[in-house]
């Protein structure tokens, strides 16, 4: 299973002064709660899937690809400007060089190549079985 995320921001990790939050209205609080809920949902889904694949001794068959530190315009899903597309391409290029996790030093680039080979090998195996 290759799970491709749309990226997250560490915005919900940001701390706010009591003086600032005291001025927030219901809409601001709802937006903060929504951001926290969406982020928690993404992390929990990844955690559950990762756990299931580990329990099945198939952890090499699951890969979640997602940048978790988007900033600026790269966080805006509706910004399709050429400049933002170039920024997102750079985010993707940088992500390829990062390790998959603290426990897995394999880079995303290596992991994706491994996944591509695994899928190609399985397709060839199915094709060979079908020809008999």
pLDDT, tens digit, 9 for 90 and up, residues 40-49: 777 788 888 8
- Beta bridge partners, 3, equal 64
Q: From the CB of residue 73, how many other CB atoms can be counted at a distance below 10 Å? A: 12
Please say if the pLDDT value at position 124 is more than 90: yes
Exposure string over 88-119, b if 16+ CB within 10 A, otherwise e: beeeeeebeeeebeeeeeeebeebbeebeeee
Strands 2-4 and 63-65 come out as parallel
pLDDT band, very low/low/confident/very high, at 107 (cuts 50, 70, 90): very high
Domain ranges of the chain: 2-131
Direct distance between the N- and C-terminal alpha carbons of the chain, in angstroms, rounded to an integer: 28
Q: Which position has the token pair 């889904």?
A: 45
DSSP 3: E
Q: What is the pLDDT of residues 43-84, one digit of tens each?
A: 788 888 888 988 999 888 888 998 888 888 888 878 899 999
């Amino acid at each position: 299973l290759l799970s491709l995320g749309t990226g997250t921001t560490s915005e919900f990790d940001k701390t706010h002064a009591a003086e600032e939050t005291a001025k927030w209205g219901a809409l601001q609080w709802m937006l903060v709660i929504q951001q926290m809920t969406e982020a928690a949902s993404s992390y929990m889904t990844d955690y559950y899937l990762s756990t299931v694949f580990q329990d099945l001794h198939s952890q090499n068959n699951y890969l979640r690809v997602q940048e978790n530190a988007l900033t600026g315009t790269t966080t805006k899903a509706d910004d399709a400007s050429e400049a933002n597309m170039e920024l997102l391409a750079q985010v993707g290029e940088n992500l390829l060089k990062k390790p998959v996790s603290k426990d897995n030093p394999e880079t995303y680039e290596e992991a994706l190549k491994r996944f591509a080979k695994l899928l190609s090998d399985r397709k060839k195996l199915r094709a060979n079985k079908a020809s008999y």
